[in-house]
């Protein structure tokens, strides 16, 4: 019995418009077999694109004669499971980003382009609550539906296609009719006995590690968020691995998010030693590798998945645990396009799956410490290093008025010599790559500027000038471009300059430089790290790449060459990031049996936050920083959103943001502050002028309500056609 009621398809299409699009089912296709999460090929303007079915509906706001038919169904079964589709819809609402773009993020590139999926799962048909309560007598005029209903009542767990074939001939048509009534649902079946995966034995845990692991293990099977706050070298990874092992014993999967896969080869090695079947997922993989990892997670063949921020959207057949390592790291926030926080979405996803979440860090974000204080997270502490010397003390070196040898003070050089003579390794941290950040004419004082950004060009040792904001490169000119004089001077210090002076001062010592330039080629980072472990290099020089997850057991001296960069930044999080970097880098010293020493060069040794950090530790610094945030009404004590606009002219972004402010003001009222619009601190970048409007509210709900009310009008503004604009909810940077 065929229903005359039309079925409309609500499809997510990657588009800048914040809405779904309605279609009719493909011709000669059984609309009842279409399920949310399937991919469709649909006409979109003058082209065909790949969309994802969000839901079917009995009505559409667009008259049926004006709707187009979808061209084809690309999958035999749902490709995106219901839980992930629900997470995508939540994220689209929270971040106010087009649902089509968000859903596109859930698929690896091969599937976005319409390539074949990875096979169908096993499904069963079972009665819904309404179907179980339905009376067979209501189907007097549909005897086949009534007969099928009587069969399904006997099997509350459902029947698969093979079983139905044996019990009810030609069941497909009455089944579709029962689904349209809402009396039957089709659901994927999880294997009753998930495959067992080989696991190597773990190391013995100390008392603090064992207590932390036990707390998390006890929460398996339910939602609870943990903040694992452990000093560098305290063995957080061993706690993760121990809980993952228990998760796997129960037949579930573990997802581990890390800031950057390329910077943590040692972590990958440790995980794979314990779980040989672990897979990785990140953007540097080939298209085929990403699809294979995605399918392994979805099918349940991967017991452990390690990935960067996009891995938060991986489908998991048996989700059991989510771990976010280095949860404070800004890399977990996407900075363009769909500006989501993988850490925050991990919290939402764990709560929806009813599984535990572990946020680990030696320097927790102020947001996580605040959530811990509010009892949203359970704070677990690892205060001591595991099987190693105690955490090294940090000493400030006042370099005001002191002679510097290309950025190195005499006390720093003396300490380097002392540790090298004692056969220790030395790590020098400078978060500035290149040779010199400023090239200036001695005759007229002009500096060499990027022609596309409001930024100086950085000189590199190959005599190339680079802009570290837009990537522009050009050769170093022989003469000043302003006055023609040939007296160009190089000011400031980058990692390349430090490497060169160290090679002159210590000619017989192996030196390794780790920054984006030296590790650009595939395999170079791993080769350098292997050389450090073998002892080929006694001095390591690098940027924040050195701060993330590396274990250098022979490093006994850490020197931080410039601690002042984060003290006076325009972003309100600058001091927090400065403190995290200092503590993370300092933690590389003294990780084995030999004690470590940390020296910090600064022109501001009296700075209160810097002093507090060095003398009392990160926890004391964080408490003071949180008090400052509370007094200023800044996150985490407030909710924030940033409206960005950019264009090739200076006037267009400001005009759009002024118009946007007028649209936002009534919805914001007195509950949400509107600050700006104003030019971005770096107004011109990559040839485009940038401006921003800041929204600040005491409560997240008030900010969300104002945005939901006012944002639709922004799409209709005539000024919007002259700019690129975007909204960043919970921005990690405000510049």
The pLDDT of residue 292 is 84
The pLDDT of residue 551 is 75
Instruction: Render pLDDT for 527-570 as a digit per residue (tens, 0 to 9).
Output: 888 888 888 999 999 998 877 767 788 899 999 998 887 777 77
> Is residue 193 very low, low, confident or very high in pLDDT (cuts 50, 70, 90)?
very low
| Among 297, 318, 319, 295, CA closest to 306 | 297
- For residues 367 and 332, the answer to whether their CB atoms sit within 8 Å is no
The pLDDT of residue 198 is 64
Above 80 in pLDDT, residue 386? no
How many Cβ atoms from other residues are within 10 Å of residue 501's Cβ? 15
> Is residue 118 very low, low, confident or very high in pLDDT (cuts 50, 70, 90)?
low
The pLDDT of residue 459 is 95
Distance CA 674, CA 676 (A): 6
Distance CA 513, CA 74 (A): 49
- For residues 10 and 52, the answer to whether their CB atoms sit within 8 Å is no
Token pair in block for residue 535: 């002892």
Judging by beta carbons within 10 Å of its beta carbon (0-12, 13-18, 19+), is residue 337 exposed, middle or buried? exposed
How many Cβ atoms from other residues are within 10 Å of residue 639's Cβ? 19
Q: Spell out the alpha helix ranges (H) of 587-699.
A: 608-616, 618-632, 651-668
The sign one gets for the Cα dihedral 438, 442, 448, 454 is: positive
Peptide bond connecting 498 to the previous residue in cis, omega within 30 degrees of 0: no
Instruction: Render pLDDT for 20-74 as a digit per residue (tens, 0 to 9).
Output: 999 999 988 887 788 999 999 999 988 999 999 999 988 888 888 889 999 999 9
Is the pTM for the entire model greater than 0.75? yes
Span of 3-7, 126-130, 205-209, 572-576 with lowest mean pLDDT = 3-7
End-to-end CA distance of the chain: 62
The residue to which tokens 């007598």 are assigned: 137
Distance CA 574, CA 566 (A): 5
Instruction: Categorise residue 459: left if φ over 0, alpha if ψ from -120 to 50, beta otherwise.
Output: beta
Distance CA 530, CA 654 (A): 51
Token pair in block for residue 183: 């009396």
Span of 51-55, 426-430, 481-485 with lowest mean pLDDT = 481-485
Percent of all residues in the chain with a pLDDT value above 70, rounded to a whole number:
94
Peptide bond connecting 677 to the previous residue in cis, omega within 30 degrees of 0: yes
Above 50 in pLDDT, residue 119? no
Above 70 in pLDDT, residue 436? yes
Distance CA 427, CA 557 (A): 6
Mean pLDDT value across residues 714-734: 93
- For residues 664 and 675, the answer to whether their CB atoms sit within 8 Å is no
The pLDDT of residue 263 is 54
Distance CA 132, CA 137 (A): 13
Span of 130-139, 178-187, 662-671 with lowest mean pLDDT = 130-139
Distance CA 530, CA 578 (A): 28
Mean pLDDT value across residues 278-283: 87
Mean pLDDT value across residues 504-520: 91
> Is residue 430 very low, low, confident or very high in pLDDT (cuts 50, 70, 90)?
very high
Judging by beta carbons within 10 Å of its beta carbon (0-12, 13-18, 19+), is residue 252 exposed, middle or buried? buried
Q: How far is CA 704 from CA 22, 601, 633, in A?
A: 26, 44, 18
> Is residue 191 very low, low, confident or very high in pLDDT (cuts 50, 70, 90)?
very low
- For residues 60 and 5, the answer to whether their CB atoms sit within 8 Å is no
Mean pLDDT value across residues 71-89: 92
The pLDDT of residue 89 is 96
Above 50 in pLDDT, residue 233? yes
> Is residue 712 very low, low, confident or very high in pLDDT (cuts 50, 70, 90)?
very high
- For residues 433 and 495, the answer to whether their CB atoms sit within 8 Å is yes
Beta bridge mates, 397: 601
Distance CA 62, CA 8 (A): 10
Above 70 in pLDDT, residue 265? no
The pLDDT of residue 31 is 76
Token pair in block for residue 115: 């390539």
Token pair in block for residue 605: 């040794």
Mean pLDDT value across residues 65-87: 92
- For residues 379 and 216, the answer to whether their CB atoms sit within 8 Å is no
- For residues 319 and 255, the answer to whether their CB atoms sit within 8 Å is yes
The pLDDT of residue 7 is 87
The sign one gets for the Cα dihedral 608, 614, 620, 621 is: positive
- For residues 597 and 419, the answer to whether their CB atoms sit within 8 Å is yes
The pLDDT of residue 450 is 95
The pLDDT of residue 650 is 95
Distance CA 5, CA 669 (A): 45
The pLDDT of residue 674 is 97
Position with higher pLDDT, 263 vs 697: 697
Peptide bond connecting 636 to the previous residue in cis, omega within 30 degrees of 0: yes
Mean pLDDT of the chain: 89
Mean pLDDT value across residues 321-326: 96
Q: Measured at the alpha carbon of residue 585, what is the angle toward residues 637 and 371, in degrees to the nearest 5? A: 20
The pLDDT of residue 5 is 63
Instruction: Render pLDDT for 675-705 as a digit per residue (tens, 0 to 9).
Output: 999 999 899 999 999 999 999 999 999 999 9
Report the length, in residues, of the chain.
735
The residue to which tokens 């390329």 are assigned: 262
How many Cβ atoms from other residues are within 10 Å of residue 16's Cβ? 11
Q: What is the largest CA-CA distance in the chain?
A: 99
């Amino acid at each position: 019995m065929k229903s005359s009621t039309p079925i409309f398809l609500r499809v997510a299409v990657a588009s800048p418009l914040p809405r779904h699009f309605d279609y009719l089912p493909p011709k000669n296709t059984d609309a009842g077999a279409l399920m949310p999460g399937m991919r469709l090929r649909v006409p979109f303007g003058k082209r065909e694109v790949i969309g994802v079915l969000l839901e079917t509906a009995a009505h559409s706001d667009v008259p049926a004669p004006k709707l187009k038919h979808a061209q084809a169904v690309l999958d035999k079964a749902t490709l995106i499971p219901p839980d992930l589709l629900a997470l995508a819809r939540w994220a689209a609402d929270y971040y106010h980003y087009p649902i089509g773009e968000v859903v596109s993020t859930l698929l690896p590139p091969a599937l976005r382009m319409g390539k074949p999926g990875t096979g169908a799962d096993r499904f069963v048909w079972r009665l819904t609550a309404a179907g179980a309560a339905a009376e067979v007598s209501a189907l007097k005029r549909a005897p086949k539906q009534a007969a099928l209903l009587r069969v399904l009542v006997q099997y509350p767990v459902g029947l698969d296609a093979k079983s139905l074939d044996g019990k009810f001939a030609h069941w497909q048509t009455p089944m579709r009719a029962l689904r349209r009534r809402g009396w039957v649902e089709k659901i994927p079946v999880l294997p009753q006995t998930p495959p067992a995966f080989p696991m190597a034995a773990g190391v013995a845990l100390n008392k603090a590690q064992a207590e932390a692991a036990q707390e998390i293990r006890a929460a398996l099977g339910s939602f609870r968020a943990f903040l694992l706050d452990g000093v560098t070298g305290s063995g957080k990874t061993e706690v993760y691995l121990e809980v993952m092992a228990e998760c796997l014993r129960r037949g579930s999967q573990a997802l581990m998010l890390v800031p950057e896969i390329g910077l943590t080869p040692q972590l990958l090695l440790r995980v794979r030693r314990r779980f040989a079947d672990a897979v990785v997922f990140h953007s540097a993989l080939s298209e085929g590798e990403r699809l294979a990892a995605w399918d392994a997670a979805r099918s349940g063949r991967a017991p452990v998945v390690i990935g960067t921020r996009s891995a938060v959207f991986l489908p998991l057949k048996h989700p059991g645990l989510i771990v976010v390592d280095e949860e404070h790291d800004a890399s977990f926030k996407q900075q363009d396009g769909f500006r989501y926080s993988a850490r925050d979405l991990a919290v939402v996803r764990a709560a929806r799956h009813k599984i535990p979440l572990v946020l680990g860090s030696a320097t927790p974000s102020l947001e996580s410490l605040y959530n811990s204080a509010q009892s949203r997270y359970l704070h677990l502490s690892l205060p001591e290093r595991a099987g190693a010397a105690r955490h090294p003390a940090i000493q400030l070196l006042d370099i005001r008025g002191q002679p510097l040898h290309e950025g190195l003070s005499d006390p720093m050089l003396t300490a380097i010599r002392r540790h090298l003579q004692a056969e220790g390794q030395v790590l020098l941290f400078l978060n500035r790559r290149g040779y010199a950040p400023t090239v200036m004419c001695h005759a007229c004082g002009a500096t060499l500027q990027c022609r596309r950004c409001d930024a100086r060009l950085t000189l590199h040792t190959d005599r190339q000038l680079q802009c570290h904001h837009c990537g522009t490169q050009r050769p170093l000119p022989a003469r000043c471009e302003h006055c023609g004089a040939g007296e160009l001077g190089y000011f400031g210090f980058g990692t390349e300059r430090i490497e060169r002076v160290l090679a002159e001062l210590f000619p017989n010592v192996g030196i390794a430089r780790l920054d984006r330039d030296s590790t650009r080629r595939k395999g170079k980072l791993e080769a350098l790290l292997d050389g450090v472990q073998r002892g080929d290099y006694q001095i390591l020089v690098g940027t924040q790449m050195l701060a993330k997850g590396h274990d250098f057991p022979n490093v006994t001296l850490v020197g931080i060459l410039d601690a002042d960069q984060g003290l006076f930044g325009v972003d309100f999080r600058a001091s927090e990031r400065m403190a995290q970097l200092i503590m993370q880098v300092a933690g590389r010293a003294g990780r084995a049996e030999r004690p470590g020493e940390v020296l910090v060069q600064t022109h501001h040794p009296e700075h209160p936050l810097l002093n507090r950090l060095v003398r009392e530790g990160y926890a004391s610094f964080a408490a003071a920083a949180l008090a400052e945030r509370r007094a200023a009404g800044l996150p985490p004590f407030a909710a924030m959103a940033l409206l960005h606009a950019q264009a090739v002219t200076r006037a267009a972004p400001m005009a759009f943001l002024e118009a946007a402010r007028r649209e936002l003001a009534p919805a914001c009222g007195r509950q949400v502050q509107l600050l700006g619009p104003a030019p971005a601190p770096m107004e011109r970048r990559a040839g485009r002028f940038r401006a921003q409007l800041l929204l600040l509210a005491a409560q997240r709900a008030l900010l969300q309500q104002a945005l939901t009310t006012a944002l639709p009008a922004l799409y209709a503004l005539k000024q919007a056609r002259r700019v690129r604009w975007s909204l960043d909810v919970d921005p990690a940077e405000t510049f």
